[in-house]
Amino acid sequence: MKKLFLVAVIAIAGWLSSQAQSSPAPERYNNLLEQMVQLEQPKAEFLMNATMETLAKDPKGYRMMMELAEKRFSDPADPLHNEQLYMVVLKHTTENFVLSNAEKEKQRLLLMGAKKNMIGSTATDFDYVTTKDKAVHHLKDLKADYILVYFNNPDCESCETVKERLTNNELINNLVNDKKLIVLAIYPYEDGKLWKKSKYPSMMINGWNQSRQIEQNELYDLPTLPCFYLLDNNYTVLIKNEGSLNKVESMLKALMSANIAGPAPAPQPKAKDDPNFVRCNQLLNYLINNQYNELYNCLTDDLKSKSKADDLNGALTKTEEIFGKYKGNEPWDIRKYQEYKTYCSILNYENGKAGLMIILDENGKVSAVTFVPEQVIKDMPAY
């Protein structure tokens, strides 16, 4: 797994491209995806974007990875289901030159669906009725630390199995009893008679979207049932379109642990005269002048043990093949990537821009050097 991440962070665009083209077999791609989902989410997203970027010169491999990612990441029933990684793939396929216009149009439609109620956004409100009264209720009438929306169909065997598991889940029941969690079961389709004769445990609200606005207006992307959406007290989506109750439980455990531990410490203020800015300029000059041996000597011992100097050869030159001639860089800035203090700059080329990210460890050695899309730099929080 570490080596896969290193392929993304230290080999840089040109070397990545040659490696990707030398191993186009579907099983290699599938193995990559299986290991990718085991990484922390930001690292996995970074690796997914780097993979698509380097496959851009291999249209056959690019399409193969695109189709495999759709199959594995978008299906809630697949163990690799990951909406955020799927979004990375869809964004790349719609924004880059590899696909035909017809292919891009399909990807745009898939992206539109994936953007609905995406993680980090505010969940779309909807109405529902219950068997307890004649009133029309709304999602945003519910007040709790967390809301678990369980989209289901009473005529679905898998839904019944998951409902039974929900009923017997100790963590979820304890959170419901402590009024920290509300479980809202929603039937989104038209058969009201089927819904009314179904039985649901008292620990969840049994709701029917009688107006059918969820289905008819496609408010939620529901490729298969059952699936879960987990929301916080501001209705922010924490989990989207998830078919695994185990993953929901893991998220709830993590959230409870974080609440017990308290807030994270405040980040350090931005340094005005950071000596590492000078060091980053030196590293950039190594790249520009293809002084890969000098750059290699700056790496941490751990990275050296997993790579070689030739891996860095011609990094900027390879990038220029895509973006045109290098025209200089914008000022360095300090950004936070995970727990790392990172030095970033936007590099200007004849045909566009690319971000350069350099991570130095506490001893001033290079932990990672990589090119990333310009927007990645802009979206990273200030340190």
Q: What is the pLDDT of residues 156-172, one digit of tens each?
A: 999 999 999 999 999 99
Phi and psi, residue 279, nearest 5°: -65, -40
Tabulate helix, strand, coil % of the chain (nearest 5). 45, 20, 35
Residue 206's pLDDT is 95
Long-range CB contact pairs, 310-313, < 8 A, 24+: 311/10, 311/11, 311/12, 311/15, 312/10, 312/11, 312/12, 312/15, 312/369, 313/15
- Among the listed residues 175, 186, 181, 187, the one whose alpha carbon sits nearest the alpha carbon of residue 232: 181
Residue 264's pLDDT is 54
Q: Confidence band (pLDDT; 50, 70, 90) for 14?
A: very low
Tell me the average pLDDT across 122-142: 94
Predicted confidence (pLDDT) at residue 316 exceeds the cutoff of 60: yes
Tell me the average pLDDT across 116-142: 93
Residue 225 tokens, joined = 């049932």
pLDDT top residue among 227 and 257: 227
Predicted confidence (pLDDT) at residue 68 exceeds the cutoff of 70: yes
Peptide bond before residue 226 is cis, with ω within 30 degrees of 0: yes
Percent share of the chain, pLDDT over 90: 40
pLDDT top residue among 309 and 116: 116
Q: Pick the range with the lowest mean pLDDT from 78-82, 190-194, 338-342.
A: 338-342
Predicted confidence (pLDDT) at residue 147 exceeds the cutoff of 80: yes
**DSSP states of 54-65 as a string?**
HHTT-HHHHHHH
76-121: per-residue pLDDT in tens? 888 899 988 999 999 999 988 899 999 999 999 999 888 889 888 8
CA distances from 204 to 173, 214, 241 (A): 9, 20, 19
Report the chain's mean pLDDT, rounded to a whole number: 83
Tell me the average pLDDT across 242-262: 84
Predicted confidence (pLDDT) at residue 10 exceeds the cutoff of 80: no
Predicted confidence (pLDDT) at residue 366 exceeds the cutoff of 60: yes
Predicted confidence (pLDDT) at residue 12 exceeds the cutoff of 70: no
C-alpha of 86 from chain center = 7
- Among the listed residues 254, 242, 247, 249, the one whose alpha carbon sits nearest the alpha carbon of residue 73: 242
Q: Cα torsion for 365, 368, 373, 379, to the nearest 10°? A: -70
pLDDT top residue among 261 and 184: 184
Predicted confidence (pLDDT) at residue 207 exceeds the cutoff of 50: yes
Residue 18's pLDDT is 39
Residue 1's pLDDT is 31
Tell me the average pLDDT across 300-319: 73
Question: What Rg, from alpha-carbon coordinates, does the chain have?
Answer: 24
Q: Regarding beta strands 204-208 and 146-151, do their DSSP bridges make them parallel or antiparallel, or are they unpaired? A: unpaired
Residue 260's pLDDT is 64
Predicted confidence (pLDDT) at residue 200 exceeds the cutoff of 80: yes
Residue 306's pLDDT is 66
Q: Regarding beta strands 146-151 and 366-372, do their DSSP bridges make them parallel or antiparallel, or are they unpaired? A: unpaired
How many CB atoms are located within 10 Å of the residue 112 CB? Answer: 13
Predicted confidence (pLDDT) at residue 310 exceeds the cutoff of 90: no
pLDDT top residue among 272 and 165: 165
Q: Confidence band (pLDDT; 50, 70, 90) for 5?
A: very low
Give the single-character DSSP code of 332.
Answer: P
Q: Confidence band (pLDDT; 50, 70, 90) for 296?
A: confident
Residue 19's pLDDT is 41
Angle between helices 12-22 and 2-9 (to 10 degrees): 130
Q: Confidence band (pLDDT; 50, 70, 90) for 55?
A: confident
Q: Which of 20-24, 43-47, 68-72 has the highest mean pLDDT?
A: 68-72
Residue 182's pLDDT is 97
